[in-house]
Structure 1
Amino acid sequence: MARLHNKKKKAFVKPAVKKQQQAGVDHITGDKVPKSFVFARGKLPGPLKQLQTDLRKLMLPFTALKLKEKKRNNLKDFLNVAGPMGVTHFLILSKTATTPYLRVARTPQGPTLTFKIHDYSLAIDVAKSQLRPRCPQDLFKNSPLIVLSGFGSGDQHLKLTTIMFQNIFPAIDINTVKLSSCQRIVLLNYNKETKLIDFRHYSIRLQPVGVSRKIRKFVQNHQVPDLRNLQDVSDFVTKAGYGSESEADDEAATVTLASDLGRVNRASTKSAVKLQELGPRMTLQLIKIEEGLCSGGVIFSEYGNGGGNKNKQENEEDVEED
């Protein structure tokens, strides 16, 4: 007699997944988180290639740090890839026979701002000029803050410049932002007389007011200090030279923290805000604004109609169009 076996079917239980914020969406504005491509059109000399690398690092974490470029790639190739990847802005470096240019464009339909690069310094050059360069790896885990100065003259082209740079980085909510995420800042200062823009990139750090560097290092690193040459442990704190190690406290540059930040910066205590330049450093001049993506009607031209046409020809020498 045949024996019957009851085969129990195993029920598949779908693992619980925590609801996460929609990827790629800014929780403040509800818009897409700004992402960028930084690339070149045409052949760049060595220093400008390094500037391209520095700009990619500055735009982290929402950029393609290792974006591969080929000579046969044209602007439409980058645009076709940008859509699926959620890229909202292009930063395009190019160079004519005489001058380098930087174009900042909104995808997919513009506008495009063209800047003439008068001067620039690479991040490595900025670091070499400093006694104690500081650039920890976790510095680039969050986007930099953006501060613009001198753009409020009411001119239409300056308003467009302000909007472009404000939207190139994610927005922040001052009521909910974590202090630990505010580690970098990009400063743009417009000089009305020279019509030049100073572009600077700094790291932000806080130091407790009235505490020497030795004490800060001891608290942060938990390393036993070298006390062999001291008579008493109190000499470590009161040792001569304390004033030189503790930078002068500027009341205008101090803040009272709302929450703890690290081991030495505690809530409800005063801390001094210190900016240390990271680079790259650029001096830019806005020379043209186009309606489209590197094309279309000219909204603004620094050189008027004649100069604008000449400049347009120079800038598009290195841009391949299908």
Structure 2
Amino acid sequence: MARFRNKRRTPFVRPITKKQQTVDHVTGDKIPKSFVFCRGKLPGALRQLQMDLRKLMLPFTALKLKEKKRNNLKDFLNVAGPMGVTHFLILSKTDTAPYLRVARTPQGPTLTFKIHDYSLASDIAQSQLRPRSPKDLFKDPPLIVLSGFGTGEQHLKLTTIMFQNIFPAIDINTVKLSSCQRIVLLNYNKDTKLIDFRQYSIRLQPVGVSRRIRKFVQKHEVPDLRTLQDVSDFVTKAGYGSESEVDDEAATVSLPTDLGRVNRATNKSAVKLQEVGPRMTLQLMKVEEGLCSGAIIFSEYGKNKYFLSLVN
């Protein structure tokens, strides 16, 4: 006689995934999304740079994008359309130098940058005494700041428009302060024609409040008072008192609303920037009309034609 056991089965529960926002509430256009991948074989350091760039482009990028040797540009383009991907960041390596191409899908233009120097995010963290990487640092897209590009040269205007369109636009009247966690800075040096590419984390500190008091309020940690005669020594004793970390009045702001337990709208707060990487030194070498193809509308070593309407 066959025996049947009543096995307890776990029901299948479909996971609930939060849909990403697809339309920019500021411009009304679709939110820019990106693929970061490579063409050709890359050494280990450039592979890590690729992962750092993917983290930098979060949350509107494919962090775990899978690549295969047989994949060509058309394969990525076929997937980009249904997923709403608007930009490609492509790393490559020649015998002389690595290159970064920034392309707008599906028809271009494409900007090709020579990478003169670069430092990985891990290198930046190792060089700092107190590296900072909060768990929600990459939850929201970074702010973008471009400096030195207003020289009037048409290819720099094109570069400005391209980088501005990579990240979602912000409305200073409605943006939440808690979402302003990172800033990407591009600084152009007209003498060397080089672009310094940096990424910083943003944090606010109340002016006139010591580090120990801030930690006490933020983490609710009980301080060690065994070596102190009185609780007032916790504030007044050397090393525990108010730290004049910010003397520049220009580095302080008044918040419109409270932010966290420490930063209050009634008090001034100091803006602190800490580099998180990656760091790159770029030089614009070429601008192509199409997606990694087509007429050359700018070349560092040749005649140039300008078609600014390509990015409008």
Q: Does TM-score exceed 0.5, indicating one fold?
A: yes
* Partner amino acid, structure 2, of 1:294: C
| Cα distance, 1:126 vs structure 2 | 0.2
Name the CA shift for 1:102/1:22 in 2 (closer, same or farther; >3 Å).
Answer: closer
* Partner amino acid, structure 2, of 1:129: S
User: CA–CA distance in 2 between the matches of 1:61 and 1:216?
Assistant: 30
1:139 is matched with 137
User: CA–CA distance in 1 between the matches of 2:265 and 2:142?
Assistant: 23
Task: Find the partner of 1:278 among 272, 276, 279.
Answer: 276
User: CA–CA distance in 1 between the matches of 2:193 and 2:71?
Assistant: 34
1:62 is paired with a residue whose SS is coil
1:152 is matched with 150
Gaps of 5+ in 2: 1-17, 305-312
1:162 is matched with 160
Task: Find the partner of 2:86 among 64, 85, 88.
Answer: 88
Task: Find the partner of 1:266 among 264, 267, 270.
Answer: 264
User: CA–CA distance in 2 between the matches of 1:112 and 1:184?
Assistant: 26
The answer as to whether partners of 2:216 and 2:222 remain within 8 angstroms in 1 is: yes
Gaps of 5+ in 1: 1-19, 309-322
Instruction: From the two aligned structures, give the one with the greater helix fraction.
Output: 1
Identity %: 86
User: CA–CA distance in 2 between the matches of 1:27 and 1:127?
Assistant: 35
User: CA–CA distance in 1 between the matches of 2:137 and 2:195?
Assistant: 25
| Cα distance, 1:248 vs structure 2 | 3.3
What are the residue-to-residue correspondences of 1:248-263 with 2, within 5 Å? Answer: 248-263=246-261
Name the CA shift for 1:239/1:22 in 2 (closer, same or farther; >3 Å).
Answer: closer
* TM value normalised by structure 1: 0.87
| Cα distance, 1:249 vs structure 2 | 2.9
| Cα distance, 1:246 vs structure 2 | 4.5
User: CA–CA distance in 1 between the matches of 2:99 and 2:19?
Assistant: 38
Q: Deviations over 1:155-211 (max 9, x none)?
A: 110000000000000000000000000010000000000000000000000000011
User: CA–CA distance in 1 between the matches of 2:180 and 2:273?
Assistant: 12
The answer as to whether partners of 1:250 and 1:272 remain within 8 angstroms in 2 is: no
1:138 is paired with a residue whose SS is coil
Q: Deviations over 1:254-301 (max 9, x none)?
A: 001110001000013200000000000000000100110000111100
The answer as to whether partners of 2:54 and 2:61 remain within 8 angstroms in 1 is: yes
User: CA–CA distance in 2 between the matches of 1:129 and 1:293?
Assistant: 38
Structure 1 runs of 4+ off > 3 angstroms?
20-23, 242-246
User: CA–CA distance in 1 between the matches of 2:240 and 2:111?
Assistant: 50
User: CA–CA distance in 1 between the matches of 2:230 and 2:67?
Assistant: 62
User: CA–CA distance in 2 between the matches of 1:196 and 1:22?
Assistant: 35
The answer as to whether partners of 1:213 and 1:246 remain within 8 angstroms in 2 is: no
Q: Aligned-pair RMSD on alpha carbons?
A: 1.6
The answer as to whether partners of 1:150 and 1:190 remain within 8 angstroms in 2 is: yes
The answer as to whether partners of 1:121 and 1:282 remain within 8 angstroms in 2 is: yes
* TM value normalised by structure 2: 0.90
Structure 1 or 2, whichever has the larger Rg, is 1
2:96 is matched with 98
| Cα distance, 1:247 vs structure 2 | 1.4
